[in-house]
Each structure stands twice: as structure tokens, then as C-alpha cells.
Structure 1
């Protein structure tokens, strides 16, 4: 910003010494006069135009910037929004409630339809009890994996002797045998479960399938023993020898280790079949539909919990929004007040600049007179006696809007005094409306459960 320069700088800029020498040569007027000389007008013009003019320009730019910043303040609008929290809360909560209610009704219909399917399934199949099954699938598969690995390790020890790759080859052969056992056990459990079906044709087919799988499983287990025994005689023709021995004399296994393999495979087969059978209810299909119903029941409970959480989220968002509005009002008020004070300070500084400029002009006159005295040994008569600023002719700062903003500031101070009360009322409105919404959700859930038969009255 341009400021009042030092006297020496002004003397140098005006070249006063050269002016004095020129005026001396031209003769200084000694009579009283009303008109200014050219040198006097130059000093006045320099101070008014170069000093005060530029200071005025910069001070005015600062005032305009402060005015612009105050015009951007929307304290009244924000305060009014805070007072009109009811409409904002009603709009947001109603919008969210419509979505939540729609989702709950859809979930209730799906849950009711699936429960109806379960009841129809029970009625068609004559079932009056609850389904018996294992909830944890992880534990189920963990036990199966453990049985398969233990069978593989035990059989690998017995098969490694006749394998070209030793223990590694025995392990892979034993693992393949364990997988076959796993498949047979799954078929046995499937066929045995269908034996309990109320449809006699299906029951008969399932019984025959079970006997076939049982015979195949027994044949396979005995074949494992024959194969282990054949490995002792000739590893290269063990498969042919085992099949031939199995077909002619199924129980003619003379090697003790081979019988151990038969027992291990049989036990693993029985355990796997039992595990596959007991993991689900003995009636086929009952476990599947029951799992779906219970899954939908959990989904229905989660839907209600999510709806309550959704209302709480709306309340949190509204409270955060109100808090931001309250902070914004206070921040804008502080900035507005500081801007008004800054504008008054700018205006005061400009008045001080005028006084300083007048002092500078007086210093320049005195220097002119003293330098002229040194040259002529007498005073430069009357020089500068008429040079005084006519204040009404100096440029004034445009303070348009400042007085109005001072009145606004007084109104804002009253508003800030009420801000805490209005904010507390707005928060209370949010909490009350959300509590009402949650109560409505609870009532809606009770009504939906009664209307769709999800619970008894």
C-alpha cells in the first residue's frame, strides 16, 4: 500500500532546490497575493495527486474488499434455516422412512412366503417335528477332512512297500482310495436318507440304491485288501491279481496288514457315511428348506435392525449438519464483526494519512523557505502562506454500506445471543422426530408380523 513518504524523498522527487534557484532568478513576489505560484501549485499537486490520491485509491480498494466479504455473509439465512429445523427433519426422516417401510414390507412378504413353503412341505410329507441338523458347516467339513487325511496316512504306510515311489507313491494311492471312499459314503448317506421318504416308490428305489452302494462299498473295501496283499507278491501285476482273487475268494485275505487296511477303510467309510447322514435331517429336503427359512428369519431381524440404524444415521447426519450450521454462523459473525472494525480502522487511517500529508506539505514549504533564505539572505516572502488543504475538495472514501452493516452487526449480536437456545431446540427436534420414527418402525414390524403370520398375537 502507498504510504506518506519521508520528507527527504519528497524533496528529491519535487526537486525543490532547483525550483528555488529558478524562482530566485525569476524574482520572488514580495507583495501580498491571492494566487499561488507555479512552485506552490506543484507542491500542492504532488501531495494531493501523488500522495493522497494513491493512498485514497489503496484505502478504497481495501474498503471495497471488506465490503465484498461482508456481502457474502448469509448469517440471517443460516439462522432461519436453524429455526426451520422442523421442516428439514420432517423431509429427510419421511424420505428415509418411506424407503425403510418399503424394504420391511418386501422382507415380510418374502419371509411369509418362505414360511408358507415350509408349512406346505411339512403338510405334504406328514412332518410334525422340527428339523434336526447341524448348524455349522465348517465343523462338518473339518471332520470329513480329518477322516480322509487319517485314512490316507494310515493306508499310505501299508501301500508304500509295494509302490515304486515308496512312501510318496503310497500316499497318492491311499489318497485316491480315500476319495473313492468319500464318494461311496456320500451316495450311501443320500440313499439312506431317501429311505425315510413317505413316498413308497421313492423309498423302494432308495432302498435298492442303498443296497447297491453298500455292496459296491464292501466290494471296494475288500478289493483294497486284496490289492495290498497282491503288492506283496508282484507290484507290477497287483491290480490283475487283486481282481482275480476278489472275484474267486472275496474273503481269502491271508496278510494281516491287508486286513488292517480293510478295517481302516471300512471304519472310514462308515464314519464318513454317518457324518454325511447326520449333518442334515433324515428326511430328504427338510434341512434345505428349514435353513432357508431360518436364513430369511435372520434377514428379517437384520432388516429391522438396519431400519433402526438407518433412522439413527439420519439423526446423526442431521445433528452434524446443525452443528456445522451453528459453527458457520459463529464463524461468519466473527468475520463480519472483524470486517466492520477493519473498515472503520481503514477510514481512521485515511484521516490520519491526510494529517500526515498536510504535515509533509508544511515540511516542504519550510524547506523551500530555508533554502531560499540561504541563497538570498532573506525570507521568501509569503511563499506557502496560502497552501492549506481544502478538505471538502480532497477525495473522500466511499463507505457505502458500512453504516448499514453496523446496524446489521447490532442485529447479529442479538441473533448470536439466541443461537444457543435455537440450536438446542433444533437438536431436541431431531431427537424427538427420530424417536417417533423408531416407534413407528416398531409398530410397523409388529403389524407386519401379525398380518403375515410371522408370530402369534
Structure 2
């Protein structure tokens, strides 16, 4: 902001002494004059134009900036939004409810369809009991992995002596044997499970397959023992020797370590078969369809819980939005009121600047008269009043926006008195609407469960 300069600075800027010297040489001022000289009028014009004009421009810029800041407030709109919370909540809920209802219906249809498949499966297969199986797949695979690794390690010890690669070669041979046993166990468990099927043809075929797999598995286990014994005799022809010995004398293993290896493989095969068999229900296919039913049953329950949680999240979201609006209203009101006070202060300072400018003009005229009197060696030639600003011709600050905003401030103060009540009412509206929607969802779930036969009435 341009400030009122000091008297000495103004005297130097206006070059008053040179003006006086010029006027004295021209015979001005006369001793008994009653009017101002051209130089004196020039001093007034300079102060009005160069000093008050700049001060006015800066003060007006400050006022315009405050006016622009106040024009950006949205107190009325934000307050009206609080009053219209029911419309806001209804808009948000309606868009979300469509997705929630669609998801619940789709989940109910899927669950109902699989339940129907389960009932059809039970009816066709004459089942009246629930499926018995292990829930945890992780534990199942962990036990199988442990059995395979343990069998591999034990067999690797016996096979390492006759292997060209020592313990490493024995380990790989033992690992291959364990994988073959794993395949036999899985196929054996599948065959045994089909032995419980009510279809006689399928049951008979399963019995034959089980017997065949068991026979092949026994031959393979004994062959492992013969191979271990043949390694002791000749590692290079061990396979041929083992096959010949197995064909001629299946139980003719003479080496004790080879029998231990046979026993280890047999035990591993039995354990793996038992593990594969008990992990699912003994009736084939019963576990798979039961797992699907329970998975969709869980999904159905989770869908409803997610729907309720979604409504709760929506309520919290609207609560945060309302709190932000309430906070914004208070902040904007404080800023609006402070801006009006600053604008009034700017207007007051401008009038003070005019008074200071008048004092500066008085000092400049006195200095003009005093210096001219010293040069003429007499008293000051001017006896009238000092120069005065013509106030009606001075630039005025545009305060139209300020006057309007002063009226708005009174209205905003009334709104602030109602803000707490409006905010509490908005929160209550949100809570009531969310509770109503949750009750509607619960009623919809009951209806869907009855319509799709998910529970009895």
C-alpha cells in the first residue's frame, strides 16, 4: 500500500524551493494577495493525483480482493445441503441398493441350484446321511508330503550303496519309487470309494480294479526289494536280475535290508491309500457336491453380511460428508466475518489517509509561504485559509459489495444459530434411513430364502 510520505521527502519530490524562487522572480506572491498561487494549487493537485490517487488505487484493490474472497463462500448452499440430507441419502442408497439386491438374488439362485443338485444326488444314490470328509486340504497335503519325503529318505539310504551317484542317485531313485507309490495310493483310494457305489455294475468294476491295482502294487513293492538285492550283486545288471528273480521267486528275497525296504514301501503305500480314502466321503462324488453347497452357503451368508456392511459404510461416508460440510460452513463464516471487518478497516484507513494527506498539504503550503517570506524579507504574503481538499472531488472507495455482504452477515449469523440443530437432524436422518434399509435387506433375505427353499417356513 502507498503510504503518506514525510514532509521533507514531499518537499524534495515537489521541488518547492525552486517553485518559490521562480514565483518570487516573477513577483509572486503579492504582499496583500487573497488567492492561492498557481504553485500552491499545483501542490494540491499533486497531492490529490500522486498521493491520494495511489492510496485510493491500493485500498480499492484490497477491497476488491476481500470482496472476491467473500463471493466464493457457499454457506447458504452448504446449509441447504444439510437440510436436504434425506434427498442425498436416498440418491446414494438407491444406486447402491440396486447392486446389493441383484447380488443377493444371484447368490440365492446359485445356492438354491446347488442345494437342489445335492438333493437330487442324495435321492439317486439313496443317501440319508451327511457327507463325512476332512475340511482342511492343507493338512491333508501336508501329511501326504511328509509320508512321501520320509519314504524317500529311508529308501534313499538303502539304494545309495548300489548307485553310481551314491546318496544323490539313491535319493532320486527313491523319490521316483515314492511317486509311483503315490499314484498307486490315489488310484487305489478312488477304486475303493467306488466299491461303495449303489450301482452294482460300477461297484463290481471297482472291486475288480481295486484287486488289480492291489496286485500290481504288491508286485511293484516286491520288485523294489528284488532290485535292492540285485544292486548288491551287480549294479550294472540290477534291473534284469531283479525282474528275473521276481518272476521266478516273488518272495525269494534273501537280503534283510531289502525286506526292510519292502516293508517301508508297503507301509507308505498303505498310509497314502488310507489318507487319500479318508480325506473325502467314502461315497464317490458326495464330498465334491457337498463342498460346493457349503461354499455357496458361506457365500450366501457373506453376501448378506457384506450388504449390511456396505450400508454401514455408506452411512459413515455420509456422516463424514456432513461433518465436512458443517466444518466448512463454520470456517467460511469465520472467514466471511473477518473479511468484512478487514474491509471496514480498509475503508476507515482510507479516510485516515485523506486526513494525513491534508496535513501533508498544510505542511507543504506553510513551507511554501515561509520560504517565500524569507526570500522577500517580510511576513508571509497569504492571509487567507490554507488550501483544503474538495472532498466531493476526491476518489471514493467502491463499497457496494461490502454493504451487501454486511447484510448477508446478519443472515449467516441466523444460519449459524440453527447449524447445530440442522447438523444433528441430518445425522439422525442418515441413521434412520440406514436402519430402514438394513431392515429391508433382512426382509429381502428372509423372502429369498423362503422363495428359493433355502430354509423352511
What range is the shorter-chain TM-score in? over 0.9
Quick check: 1:62 aligned with 2:57? no
The answer as to whether partners of 1:186 and 1:273 remain within 8 angstroms in 2 is yes
State how far apart, in whole Å, the 2-side matches of 1:232 and 1:281 are.
Answer: 44
Question: What is the aligned partner in structure 2 of residue 45 from structure 1?
Answer: 45
Q: 1:418-439 CA deviation, whole Å, 9 max, x = no partner?
A: 1011101100110111011111
Post-superposition offset of 1:50? 0.1
Post-superposition offset of 1:56? 0.5
The answer as to whether partners of 1:162 and 1:231 remain within 8 angstroms in 2 is yes
Post-superposition offset of 1:30? 2.6
Question: What is the aligned partner in structure 2 of residue 274 from structure 1?
Answer: 274
In the superposition, relative to structure 1, how do residues 163 and 34 fare at CA in structure 2: closer, same or farther (>3 Å)? same
State how far apart, in whole Å, the 2-side matches of 1:418 and 1:130 are.
Answer: 64
Question: What is the aligned partner in structure 2 of residue 94 from structure 1?
Answer: 94
Deviates more, 1:372-381 or 1:390-399: 372-381
The answer as to whether partners of 2:4 and 2:356 remain within 8 angstroms in 1 is yes
Deviates more, 1:334-343 or 1:347-356: 334-343
- What does 1:300-311 correspond to in 2, within 5 Å? 300-311=300-311
- What does 1:36-435 correspond to in 2, within 5 Å? 36-382=36-382, 385-435=385-435
In the superposition, relative to structure 1, how do residues 128 and 384 fare at CA in structure 2: closer, same or farther (>3 Å)? farther
User: Structure 2: any 5+ residue segments left out of the alignment?
Assistant: none
Quick check: 1:445 aligned with 2:440? no
State how far apart, in whole Å, the 1-side matches of 2:55 and 2:21 are.
Answer: 31
The answer as to whether partners of 2:365 and 2:386 remain within 8 angstroms in 1 is no
Moved over 6 A (4+): none
Q: Secondary structure in 2 aligned to 1:213?
A: helix
The answer as to whether partners of 1:82 and 1:426 remain within 8 angstroms in 2 is yes
User: Structure 1: any 5+ residue segments left out of the alignment?
Assistant: none
Q: 1:394-453 CA deviation, whole Å, 9 max, x = no partner?
A: 111110121221111011111101101110110011011101111111111111111111
RMSD across aligned C-alpha pairs, in angstroms? 1.2
State how far apart, in whole Å, the 2-side matches of 1:295 and 1:115 are.
Answer: 11
Post-superposition offset of 1:116? 0.3
State how far apart, in whole Å, the 1-side matches of 2:63 and 2:255 are.
Answer: 111
Post-superposition offset of 1:9? 1.2
The answer as to whether partners of 1:153 and 1:174 remain within 8 angstroms in 2 is yes
Q: Secondary structure in 2 aligned to 1:160?
A: helix
Aligned residues: 457
The answer as to whether partners of 1:40 and 1:383 remain within 8 angstroms in 2 is no
State how far apart, in whole Å, the 1-side matches of 2:368 and 2:281 are.
Answer: 119
Post-superposition offset of 1:390? 1.2
Post-superposition offset of 1:206? 1.5
State how far apart, in whole Å, the 2-side matches of 1:360 and 1:50 are.
Answer: 13
Q: 1:229-288 CA deviation, whole Å, 9 max, x = no partner?
A: 001111111111000100111000011110000000000000000100110011111100
Q: Secondary structure in 1 aligned to 2:87?
A: helix
Question: What is the aligned partner in structure 2 of residue 3 from structure 1?
Answer: 3
Post-superposition offset of 1:42? 1.5
